[in-house]
Structure 1
Amino acid sequence: MSQVSDDYFLKSTFLLNLVRFIEWPDEPMPKPEPLYFCFFGNDSFGTALDNIREKTVRGRELIIRKNIAFFEIKTCHLLFIDASKKEELNSILEATANYPILTVGDTPDFASAGGLVNLINYQGRIMLEINIDAAQRTQLRISSRLLSLARLIEEKRSQ
């Protein structure tokens, strides 16, 4: 595997583990609905997502949807926004701001721009940045255990 594939293999595992520490406002549900992992933009993960296919989280089946259209983003529980969508990032984050969607990226300043979780590569390790303001807007509950492992980011405010 190439280095990029290794990074995205690790990131796919991070995504799976990440949702184990997140509660959506609609939980608990009598009949668990699937968790939709959506990927918007270029397919940087490639086959790395095969690692997490057919998994479950708290009794919820995980369904992976790649190459979704803009109008589909509100149907996702986790929305990974690829770097190829950097020019559209503000409009994407604005469209998801008040919905219980875990927005995830891996580009510089993703969390400070309004994304909820940024997976950054720091000295060969994947590190988490979490935007607490975004979490409050989405009403997602993040485990204190996860917060203790992350670098907490403040959102850049427009003047």
Structure 2
Amino acid sequence: MIRHLCRLLLLLAFGLVGSAGMAAPPPGEYQIKAAYLINFARYVEWPSGRLPVGGVLRLCILGRDPFGGGLEGLDGRQVQGREVRLREVDNLEQAQDCHLVFVSGSEERRMGLILRGLAGRGVLTVSDIEGFAEAGGGIGLVTEENRVRFDINQASLVRDGLRASSQLLRLGRQVLGMERVSR
């Protein structure tokens, strides 16, 4: 009887594992954040001198890459008629050549230095470091009630010569540096 019960439990366990393997797992946090990055690139305009029509949009990761290969599918995609190129950068000088820089959590201690170094250079800065937008970053990703949301620092975008679309501004959890766009 015990042997029969053990076999039944094993079959049930394999059946549950097998059926769970067939269903697509929900996207992970950094897959969602990767999708946000490409959409930010779609809904932000750079000055034509900084990112000419038909030019390559350089999306960079500054610091340790938390995406675990989740950005690889973005390399070569088209956004606003521009090819997206991914690049990992190690320092501020390399980041200055980028159009969109994701500042990794590994750079939290240097965040102020990074934001000052990229200010006014036409670089959209994005991070999930707590308080990023409030500290002067362009867009801060926040997780709230198990959902990824974002805050926009409109004053920082204007300072950097960037323009967020009204749709993007309406979707932001908070828009700092301007009156909230009505829904």
Contact 1:12/1:51 (CA < 8 Å) preserved in 2?
no
Larger Rg: 2
- The equivalent residue for 1:141 is 163
SS in 2 for 1:17: helix
SS in 2 for 1:47: coil
- The equivalent residue for 2:12 is none
* Higher relative contact order, chain-length normalized (CA < 8 Å, sep 6+): 1
1:8-157 equivalence runs, <5 A: 8-26=30-48, 29=52, 32-150=54-172, 151-154=174-177
TM-score w.r.t. the length of structure 2 is: 0.77
Deviations 1:76-129 (A, max 9, x none): 000110111011001100011111100000011000001000111111111010
Contact 1:118/1:128 (CA < 8 Å) preserved in 2?
yes
Which amino acid letter does the alignment assign opposite residue 126 of structure 2?
V
Structure 1: unaligned runs, 5 residues or longer: 155-159
Contact 2:55/2:82 (CA < 8 Å) preserved in 1?
yes
Which amino acid letter does the alignment assign opposite residue 35 of structure 1?
L
Which amino acid letter does the alignment assign opposite residue 131 of structure 1?
N
Deviation at 1:51? 2.9
CA distance in 1, matches of 2:154, 2:73: 29
Contact 1:12/1:48 (CA < 8 Å) preserved in 2?
yes
Deviation at 1:69? 2.5
Segments of 4+ moved more than 2 angstroms: 67-70
TM-score w.r.t. the length of structure 1 is: 0.88
CA distance in 2, matches of 1:71, 1:13: 26
Deviation at 1:68? 3.3
